[in-house]
Amino acid sequence: MSIPQRGDWQQLGNVRSGVLKALEDARVAKKISASTEAKVVLSADGVLLTLFQDYLKYLRELFIVSQVEVRNENIPAEMSREADIFTTQMEGLFRVTIQKADGKKCDRCWNYSVHVGENSRYPTVCERWQRGNQGNRSRRSGCGCRWLTAVASFPLP
């Protein structure tokens, strides 16, 4: 899918508000210490599920987390008062669950990935950083984690 359309961005902004609240609750409860330690699990059905699936590749950066998973789950209206259930202006409800991200922390972008350690040449970096730096050892290039790449400015072995 292409870049999100205006109406979709409005809905994704509403979803982001719910996710940010859930991330803050997880930080307060000491489940995570930073959003990059998190895996966000979005559960919904119908129109919201389609929206989440259509824009899944954008959600990790929109929420500033390491991983996002989308699940098909019917959320009955009577559950709408539970702490992890949120509404949008669209029809339906969605659930946000915050979990510890899978994998290890990338030394370059600080995101967690199950692929850290797979590359013998760069064992401490994620697949996104590896893809962005094939044959390029510049400190300014990186995995697309733009807001963190500048901070992680140490040389590679």
Domains and CATH numbers, the chain: 6-101 (3.30.2320.20), 103-157 (no CATH)
Q: Give start and end residues of each alpha helix (H) in the chain.
A: 6-28, 46-54, 56-63, 127-132, 146-149
Q: What is the mean pLDDT of the chain?
A: 79
Helix (H, G, I), strand (E, B) or coil at 74: coil
Instruction: Give the sign of the dihedral formed by CA 111, CA 117, CA 119, CA 122.
Output: positive
CB-based contact 66:115 (threshold 8 Å)? no
90: closest CA among 66, 58, 60, 54? 54
Q: Is the pLDDT of residue 23 over 90?
A: yes
The three-state DSSP-derived secondary structure of 107-137 is CCCCCEECCCCCCCCCCCCCHHHHHHCCCCC
Tens digit of pLDDT for each residue in 69-105? 999 988 766 665 666 666 555 567 888 999 999 999 9
pTM: 0.75
